């Protein structure tokens, strides 16, 4: 088995913490108000119609375009198998799975709680280990030998993902919400840590405002920032998904920047100085001016300041498992995902990843300082 090790030189690029400086200057309270108040005239909150877009066609499970023939001679490359052992291949694919609502039954943008539990179980059984977006971007994933990283993403900040129950004044995580189910799973499987990305809306309707407001699903408005803080404290990461799920292809550059700056600002209200590195495109729709998905600013009339945002990673809604960050073609500016909802099956993607070819899975060599390729 030819197995080559490549030394990796780490280069950690640090950026100026834009919002923290800004925040310290103007005070958090004003920002909380600005970020969470209804949008201004040219970006008025409107009905958050989750299912109006014919996105279902786009979120069918993608297939590898070409079934690449095994490049090596027969016998030199072993396909990864569901139960292992697996040959290290740190240039292989990493699934970025995408959940929306975790509810009673499967549907469009919905999985049942039983299915969500089964998907966690399947990922665990098949040798997947959750990582964070920052570990992918910084190339610091530390996954045991023979295992494959998986990045969990949760979109739209619904109460179905994170509900609190008030027990005599103490807030406890509802064990039937996605966060409750996931934390219980991690407790029972200590080889998994609380990692994953929440792509959140701070001010959409129907409770999609940092996991619930106005009594919807029993969730109080004042619990919102607490929930965001709780997620970060557990080890999860926070991601922008616009202010209220705007279809960015329809709007002017100014509105696009307002949506993204205020999305980031709301996260900053909960976690001052937090560096928001990821952004999930609502409906997978790019703004006309694509560069604005990554960088931009919006003038906040209240504080008379420019609010800047900078996203290193942008998530699409579908496209199959992502390239490894060690793959020269890894492109964080357009990260494909594996949507899980009614009509899609996790096992279909994982089965493809256990075959040799374009989608062959990333398999760790257990050493975060080296990159193993078969």
Minimum distance, C-beta of residue 340 to Zn ion, in the bound complex (Å) = 14
Minimum distance, C-beta of residue 145 to Zn ion, in the bound complex (Å) = 36
Minimum distance, C-beta of residue 357 to Zn ion, in the bound complex (Å) = 31
Minimum distance, C-beta of residue 146 to Zn ion, in the bound complex (Å) = 34
Which CB, 141 or 340, lies closer to Zn ion?
340
The string of DSSP codes covering 181-246 is: HHHHHHHH-TTS-S--EEEE-SS-STTTTTT--TTGGG--GGGHHHHHHHHHHHT-EEEE--SS--
Which CB, 155 or 316, lies closer to Zn ion?
155
Which CB, 282 or 374, lies closer to Zn ion?
282
Closest by CA to 130, choosing from 36, 234, 214, is: 234
Helix (H) or strand (E) holding 33: helix 28-36
Which CB, 156 or 354, lies closer to Zn ion?
156
CB 217 within 8 A of CB 209: no
Residue ranges that bind Zn ion, judged by CB under 5 A: 155-156, 282
Minimum distance, C-beta of residue 88 to Zn ion, in the bound complex (Å) = 35
Which CB, 116 or 198, lies closer to Zn ion?
198
Residue facing Zn ion at closest CB distance: 155
Which CB, 247 or 355, lies closer to Zn ion?
247
Closest by CA to 373, choosing from 328, 343, 331, is: 328
The string of DSSP codes covering 300-316 is: ETTTTEEEEEE-SEEEE
Minimum distance, C-beta of residue 96 to Zn ion, in the bound complex (Å) = 14
Task: Give exposure, 215-245, as e/b (b: 16+ Cβ within 10 Å).
Answer: ebbebeeebbbebbebbbebebbbbbbbbbb
Strand partners, 361: 93
CB 359 within 8 A of CB 319: no
Q: Quote the tokens at residue 274.
A: 């937090």
Which CB, 87 or 204, lies closer to Zn ion?
204
Residue with tokens 């809604």: 317
Torsion of CA 328, 334, 337, 339, to 10 degrees: -170
Q: What is the total residue count of the chain?
A: 374
Which CB, 202 or 282, lies closer to Zn ion?
282
What is the rounded distance in angstroms from the CA atom of residue 271 to the CA atom of residue 261?
A: 15
What is the rounded distance in angstroms from the CA atom of residue 196 to the CA atom of residue 236?
A: 5
Minimum distance, C-beta of residue 49 to Zn ion, in the bound complex (Å) = 12
What is the rounded distance in angstroms from the CA atom of residue 152 to the CA atom of residue 163?
A: 18
Minimum distance, C-beta of residue 241 to Zn ion, in the bound complex (Å) = 6
Which CB, 282 or 319, lies closer to Zn ion?
282
Minimum distance, C-beta of residue 50 to Zn ion, in the bound complex (Å) = 7
What is the rounded distance in angstroms from the CA atom of residue 136 to the CA atom of residue 239?
A: 14
């Amino acid at each position: 088995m030819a197995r080559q090790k490549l030394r990796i030189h780490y280069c950690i690029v640090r950026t100026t913490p834009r919002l923290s400086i800004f925040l310290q200057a103007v005070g958090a309270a004003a920002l909380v108000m600005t970020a969470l108040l209804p949008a201004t005239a040219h970006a008025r909150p409107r009905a958050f119609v989750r299912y109006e877009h014919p996105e279902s066609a786009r979120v069918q499970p993608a297939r590898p375009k070409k079934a690449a023939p095994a490049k090596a001679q027969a016998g030199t490359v072993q396909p990864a198998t569901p139960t292992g052992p697996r040959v290290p291949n740190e240039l292989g694919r990493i699934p970025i799975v995408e959940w929306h609502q975790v509810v009673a039954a499967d549907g469009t943008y919905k999985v049942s709680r039983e299915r969500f539990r089964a998907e966690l179980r399947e990922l665990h059984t098949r040798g997947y280990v959750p990582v964070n977006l920052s570990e992918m971007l910084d190339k610091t994933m530390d996954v045991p030998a023979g295992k494959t990283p998986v990045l969990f993403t949760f979109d739209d900040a619904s109460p179905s993902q994170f509900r609190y129950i008030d027990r005599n004044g103490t807030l406890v995580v509802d064990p039937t919400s996605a966060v409750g189910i996931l934390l219980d799973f991690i407790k029972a499987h200590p080889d998994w840590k609380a990692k994953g990305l929440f792509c959140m809306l701070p001010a959409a309707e129907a409770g999609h405002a940092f996991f619930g407001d106005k009594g919807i699903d029993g969730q109080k408005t004042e619990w919102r920032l607490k929930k965001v803080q709780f997620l970060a404290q557990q080890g999860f990461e926070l991601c922008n998904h616009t202010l209220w799920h705007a279809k960015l292809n329809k709007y002017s550059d100014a509105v696009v920047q307002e949506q993204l700056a205020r999305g980031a600002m709301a996260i900053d209200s909960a976690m001052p100085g937090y560096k928001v590195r990821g952004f999930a495109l609502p409906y997978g729709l790019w703004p006309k001016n694509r560069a604005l998905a990554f960088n931009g600013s919006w003038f906040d009339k209240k504080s008379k300041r420019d609010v800047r945002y900078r996203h290193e990673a942008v998530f699409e809604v579908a496209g199959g498992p992502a390239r490894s960050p060690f793959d020269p073609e890894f492109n964080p500016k357009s990260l494909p995902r594996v949507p899980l909802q009614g009509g899609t099956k996790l096992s279909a993607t994982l089965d493809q990843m256990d075959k040799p070819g374009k989608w062959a899975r990333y398999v760790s060599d257990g050493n975060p300082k080296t990159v193993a390729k078969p």
